[in-house]
A = this chain, B = another copy of it.
Amino acid sequence: MKKKILWINPVGGEEFNEPIKNLLEEIKQEDTEVKVVSLANRWGKKIGPKHVEYHFYEEMVLPYTLAEIKWAEKNGFDAAVIGCFYDPGLETAREIVDDMIVTAPAEAAMAIAMSLGHKFSIIVGRRKWIPQMESNVIKYGLKDRLASFRSVGLGVLDFHRDEKKTAEIIKREARKAVEEDGAEVILLGCTIQFGFYKELQEEIGVPVIDAVIAPFKYAEFLVELKKRFGWKHSKIGGYETPPFEEMDSWNVWEEYEFVEKETWKK
């Protein structure tokens, strides 16, 4: 089954596009078509944040991310992945699509981990990240499956600075999660932790869920379900789509650069 999936790095920097593209090309199903974008230069201007550790950076990049979502749907993509473990804009994205699947790392990793073990721990970069991520775990309803958060004291951009040392620290905290906190599965709580899961998994001896692979494969999975069985984001309730007519009556197309009328027309 042909699947066209967009991976969105919701940041301005482009340096992670290629490694993530390479990873996705390697892991995708044969007939899946992959496109990786970040927001840089996409909208005729430079997009600033190179990471979204802060709520505020999320707000900076979210409108452009959502524009990508609408663009993707208009251009025949079956799914889009918002590539940040905060799952930023996930609910909004599901609200504005008609039919396309949208996934994100945290939800996807949990939808997998729940079958692999009783409890999971999430390895995060910095303490700052925990409240928002914990809110998500609670929102997804899986608080009782969470063994712990463990922070390694690294910002997003630090993970690949000294990869050996990073691997050491992640391993140390993952081991504590397994031995002290009762975790049976480890979740890497940042997409930029890509590359570490395999060795870690072998050493620790429990599944280690990578934050890039998980949402991408989950997207492929959900796309198949949608195409075959019509299962897609429910449009009764919280994901109800804003009416085109209303947006048109407000003429939002003029005012918001990230709302392209074209992508909203049916």
Residues of A within 8 A of B (CB): 1, 12, 27, 29, 45-50, 53-60, 62-63, 66, 89, 91-92, 95-96, 103, 107-108, 110-112, 114-119, 127-128, 130-132, 134-135, 138-145, 178, 182, 184-185, 197-198, 201-202, 205-207, 209-210, 213, 217-218, 221-222, 224-225, 228-242, 247, 250-252, 254-256, 259
Contact = CB atoms under 8 A, between A and B. Distances in A.
A115 B103 contact: yes
A217 to B, nearest CB: 6
A207 B184 contact: no
A111 to B, nearest CB: 5
Contact of A12 (B58, B62, B128, B250): B250
Most chain B CB atoms below 10 A, which of A45, A119, A251: A119
How many identical subunits does the complex contain?
A: 6
16 contacts: A29-B224, A45-B255, A47-B255, A56-B96, A58-B92, A59-B62, A59-B66, A62-B62, A107-B115, A112-B222, A117-B239, A127-B237, A128-B238, A184-B237, A198-B230, A206-B235
Nearest to A213: B229
The 5 closest A-B pairs by CB, nearest first: A131-B238, A117-B234, A55-B92, A48-B250, A48-B252
A242 B54 CA distance: 6
Contacts of A228: 27
B138 A145 contact: no
B217 A234 contact: no
A233 B117 contact: yes
A256 to B, nearest CB: 6
A201 B230 contact: yes
A113 to B, nearest CB: 9
Contacts of A250: 12, 48-50
A115 B40 CA distance: 28
A242 B143 contact: no
